[in-house]
Every structure is written in structure tokens, then in C-alpha cells.
Amino acid sequence: DTGVSQNPRHKITKRGQNVTFRCDPISEHNRLYWYRQTLGQGPEFLTYFQNEAQLEKSRLLSDRFSAERPKGSFSTLEIQRTEQGDSAMYLCASSLFGEQYFGPGTRLTVT
């Protein structure tokens, strides 16, 4: 399978805990994006990497969120001190030009 993969697919955590998600993009894609999607809504942009450089961050990305893409390959998104409002689907996408290809997402539930 050469598509975008994300792990884990589901994560249940207690409020206040830290969580980390991983995204493996399509191998030749140099651009990687993170989005957040709540139930019944369209995805909202969180952050964007070109190779290993994080070039843009949304105001949605509070100080508790951090993303990395070491060596320009896979990426991680960490949420510290999770809150119930962080419950959502976290989507990763990659691209070379124009259209973005999405992974299956990580569904986070904060209890």
C-alpha cells in the first residue's frame, strides 16, 4: 500500500494526558499537512511542512500542540495536557503538486 498511513487509528485518553500521532506520507511527496475534523464539519487546517521545514501554523494550533517532521519523511503531532475540546479526527495529507492525498485519520476521544 503506497498511500498515506496514520497511526494509531483510534486513541482514547483521559483529560490532561499527552498523546502523539504519526503520519507516513506517500514516499515521493515533499509536502505534508495536518487537519482537524469535528463531526459533521469539513477539515480545518492545522499546520504544513515542506520537507522538514514547518512553514505555516494555524491559530487553531495552540501552545499545547506541536508537530515535527524530522528528515522530511514521517511526521508526528503531539497534544499535551489534552482537553475534551481536543476530541476530533486528526487527518494527515501529503502532496507533490496541487491535490492532497489523505490518510485514514486518527480519531481522538478525550474523556
Partner 1 sequence: AQTVTQSQPEMSVQEAETVTLSCTYDTSESDYYLFWYKQPPSRQMILVIRQEAYKQQNATENRFSVNFQKAAKSFSLKISDSQLGDAAMYFCAYYMEYGNKLVFGAGTILRVKS
Which of 65, 86, 103, 110 is in the footprint of partner 1 by CB under 8 A? Answer: 103
With left for phi above 0 and alpha for psi between -120 and 50, is residue 86 left, alpha or beta? alpha
Does position 108 interact with partner 1 (CB under 8 A)? The reply is: no
| 3-state SS, residue 34 | strand
Does position 21 interact with partner 1 (CB under 8 A)? The reply is: no
Does position 100 interact with partner 1 (CB under 8 A)? The reply is: yes
- The least distance separating partner 1 from the CB of residue 94, rounded to whole angstroms, comes to 12
Distance CA 96, CA 57 (A): 19
How many of the other CB atoms lie within 10 Å of CB of 109? 13
Distance CA 107, CA 38 (A): 10
Which of 21, 23, 25, 48 is in the footprint of partner 1 by CB under 8 A? Answer: 48
Which of 105, 106, 108, 110 is in the footprint of partner 1 by CB under 8 A? Answer: 105
Q: Which positions touch partner 1 (CB under 8 A)?
A: 33, 35, 40-45, 48, 55-56, 58, 91, 93, 98-105
